[in-house]
Structures are given as C-alpha cells and as structure tokens.
Amino acid sequence: MEMYIFVLAVKSILNRKFTIILTIFSIALSVMLLLGVERLRNDARESFANTISGTDLIVGARSGQVQLLLYSVFRIGNPTNNVSWKSYQNISEQRQVAWTVPLSLGDSHRGFRVLGTNQDYFRHYRYAVDRQLEFASGNVFEGIFDAVIGADVARELGYRPGQEIILAHGTGEVSFVKHTGNPFHVVGILRKTGTPVDRTVHVSLQGIEAIHVGWENGSPTPGRQYDPNNPQLYDLQPRAITAALVGLKSRIATFRVQRYINDYPEEPLLAVLPGVALQELWDTMAIAQQALLAISVLVVLVGITGMTTAILTSLNERRREMAVLRSVGARPWHIFVLFVGEAGVVMGIAALAGIVSLYALQLVARPLIQSRLGLYLPVHPPSLHELILLLAAMAAGMLVGLVPAYLAYRYSLADGMTIRI
C-alpha cells in the first residue's frame, strides 16, 4: 500500500515537473549565492592572512597602514612614495632589527608585477605560517639581469629557465614603454605558494636600477642606456626603494622600533604591524560582508517562499489527486508526510545543485579572481560551517513546507474520497 502511495507521489511530481524544476533552479541559485558569499568571506580572509607571516614590520612612505600593506605585500594599488636608501640602511642597522628585505615596485612584465629585491627575500619571506619560498627549478638570481619568476607566471606564459624576458615600465596590463635594451633571463621558478608571489617577477635591485639608466627625466633618453659591456660606467646603487620588510630579534621590541620609524626625523615613514593592518582591513570589510551575507540569506528565503507558493497554488488542483490517494488507502497523515517530503526533496536536490554550481562557478572564476585581485581561493570540500548553513536552509524549507502540508491534511480530512470543487 505504501508502495502505491510512493509511486503515485513520484508520478505526481513528474506530472508537475516544469514548475518543480523551476523551483529547484531558483532555490539552487539562492543556495549557491549564500554559500558563495560565505566561502568568499572566509577564504578571502584566510588567503590574505596566509600571504605574510614572520614579518614584524612593513616599512614604507607615510600613508595608511592598510594601503601600505596592500601595495607592498599584495601588490594591490600603487605606492604613494619611496623610502630613501639611506633611511633603509639606517633602519637595518638598528640593534633590535634582525633582518630587512628591500622591495622595489613599479615595473611589470606582460601584466605581472616586477619586484626588485635582494637574495634576502628568498631567505626571510614567509607565508602561510612560517613556510619558506621553494624553487621548482633553477635558483636565486645572481647577476644583474637574472629573474626569478612565480609559479603562475611560468605556467601562464610557459616560461622555463633561460627564457629571455623584457620588462615594461609601469604596472598596467600593457605598456607602451618597454625596457627593450636590457632583457632579463629567467634563472629560477618558484613553487606555487597561493600568494601574490606566484604572479611576481623577482629581479635584483641593481637590475631595476640598470633598466632605468637614462631615465632621469622620466622617459628614456635615446642613446643612454645601460651597456653591459661597460659596467664600470654605472652606479647601480639604489637610491630609493618602495618598502621594506623588517624582522626583529624580539617581538617585544615591536612597538619601540615602530615608534622609532614613525618618528624618523629625516623623512616621513610609516611602520605597520602586518597582523594589525590585516585586522583593520577585516574590520573595515566586516560591514560589507555582513550586508552581503544578510542579502544572500534573504535571497534563500525568497527562494523558499517561491517554493511554498508553487505548492500552495497546486493545492486546489491536487485535491482530486489526494482523493485518489485516499482511495488506495492513504491516511490523512500520509498526505501530510507526502507534502513535507516533497518540500524536503525539492530542498535537497536544490541544495545539491547549488553546491555543484558553486564549484563550477569557482573553477571558472578562480583564475580571474586571482589575476585581478591577487586572491587565491582554494577549492576545498564544504566546511562544517557551510554544511550548517546548508542544513539551516533545508530546515527552513521543510518548516515552511509544513504550511501547505497542514492545509492538504485538512483538505483530505474534510474531502475524504469524494470531492466537490
């Protein structure tokens, strides 16, 4: 007998498949939105936090702490000013300072940012809680025109060690002024890190100086460019850098060194604690993120309401169907269970479809997000938090599904097997 009811219920659903598919589609979209927003929120946070580790202070020209963090580490936005080499030297010589790494930005290679630094970068830069940069092939740059490229640069441009590359002036996707006279050679490729390092071309500070020989008035002077055959003609000692990473001997001294740099009399400098700057970034973004989450919860509710409306509208048409069900032996509570079950099945399929489409979207959007925003969003199985959200959405669907189920129960009690419409 139960078998009959089940078969009839399935046939009933198939009979209304167009409405149900549309309902499933709208709920799946809303579930995808909800999970997507939640995932972006958590993963963006984690991705940002994993980009820098082990650095005690970031030093740059005076601006805002979030801005300094964004342009120096995430290569988002542009530097406000430079730090003179003299000040940088002075800071590195402080007793509390264990190491410093200079960063020089402003050039690019086919849309990838170029970072001028020195070998210490590969020694001291840490990401994702104390992980060091590793080489997939090749080694650290030695010569003036050597370059070490990140994993994504190598993959997307198909570069191998030995490849000749030409840097462009400026940080745009395209540049009309290229440093054609002084090509660089790829000597090393880094392993994938999931940070902006993957999308960076690393060269020596001297290399950056060399390609800008003859640029004193802001554009290349014809006939005056670095001649590798006469290196003695040029002073490649950098005069300024964009920012510096600073590691201290003791983290207790952080505030003192920060104060020293912020009070630096020779030029206006800013030192920020990466952890604090990140926290400030979260706090600024928290409101927008909560608004997004609230909106996506509302969209799910709209989807569920749509489903209920669809079931409710079909109720009158289905009074005959219920009478048939009663005639094969269904009790009123069977009808109740059938209606709740239908809501449950719709929610379940929709949730599944939502997850599947979320992963599909993520796979498509990931490279774009990474290249545009420098955010590395890993594809991972749904987290506990996401599953709880999903279950909550399904529970809400079932709960709302109780209304038409109750009405159907009442109808089937009243109508019995005869029906007068």
132 is an interface residue for other proteins by CB under 8 A: no
The answer to whether 316 and 411 have CB atoms below 8 angstroms apart is no
Separation CA 251–CA 230 (nearest Å): 45
Q: Tell me if 38 contacts other proteins by CB under 8 A.
A: no
Task: Please identify, using beta-carbon distances, which residue of 155 and 259 lies nearer to other proteins.
Answer: 259
Query: Do residues 246 and 55 lie in contact, with contact meaning Cβ atoms separated by under 8 Å?
Result: yes
Give the total of residues touching other proteins (CB under 8 A).
30
The 290-329 site mask, x for binding other proteins (CB under 8 A), equals ----------------------------------------
Binding residues for other proteins restricted to 68-107, rule: CB under 8 A: 96
User: Given the complex with other proteins, which of 62 and 331 has the nearer CB atom?
Assistant: 62
* 304 close to 26: Cβ distance less than 8 angstroms: no
Closest separation between CB of residue 377 and other proteins, Å? Answer: 13
Site for other proteins in 260-289 (CB under 8 A): 273, 275-276, 278-280, 282-283, 286
Q: Using CB under 8 A, which of the segments 48-56, 158-166, 167-175, 386-394 binds other proteins?
A: 48-56
* Contact flag: residue 42 with other proteins (CB under 8 A): yes
Q: Which residues of 133-148 are buried (b: 16+ CB within 10 A; e: fewer)?
A: beeeebebbeebbbbb
Q: Decide if residue 129 touches other proteins (CB under 8 A).
A: yes
Q: Is 259 in the site for other proteins (CB under 8 A)?
A: yes
Strand positions, DSSP E, 26-149: 57-61, 83-84, 97-109, 112-117, 126-127, 131-132, 135-138, 146-149
- The answer to the question of residue 54 lying near other proteins (CB under 8 A) is yes
Q: Does 384 bind other proteins (CB under 8 A)?
A: no
Contact residues for 197 (Cβ-Cβ < 8 A; gap 6+): 125, 127, 133, 150, 190
Q: Nearest approach, Cβ of 91 to other proteins (angstroms)?
A: 17
Residue 131 binding other proteins, by CB under 8 A: no
Nearest approach in angstroms of CB 280 to other proteins is: 6
Q: Are 66 and 271 in contact (CB under 8 A)?
A: no
Question: Angle at the Cα of 203 (from 198 to 205), degrees rounded to 5?
Answer: 135
Based on the shown chain and the rule CB under 8 A, indicate whether residue 56 belongs to the binding site for other proteins. yes
Interaction between residue 406 and other proteins (CB under 8 A): no
Q: If we measure between CA atoms, which residue out of 70, 43, 55, 69 comes closest to residue 130?
A: 55
Residue 62 near other proteins by CB under 8 A:
no
- Window 206-225: residues binding other proteins (CB under 8 A): none
User: Residue 105 and residue 384: Cα distance in Å, rounded?
Assistant: 40
117 contacts 102 by C-beta, under 8 angstroms? yes
* Rounded-to-10 torsion of CA 190, 192, 195, 201: 30
Q: CA 39, CA 33: separation in Å to the nearest integer?
A: 10
Q: Which of 17, 256, 320, 372 binds other proteins (CB under 8 A)?
A: 256
C-alpha to C-alpha distances, 219 to 150, 187, 212, 216, nearest whole angstrom: 28, 28, 9, 7
Among 204, 258, 296, 362, binds other proteins (CB under 8 A): 258
Residues found near other proteins in the complex (CB under 8 A): 42, 45-46, 48-50, 53-54, 56, 96, 129, 249-256, 258-259, 273, 275-276, 278-280, 282-283, 286
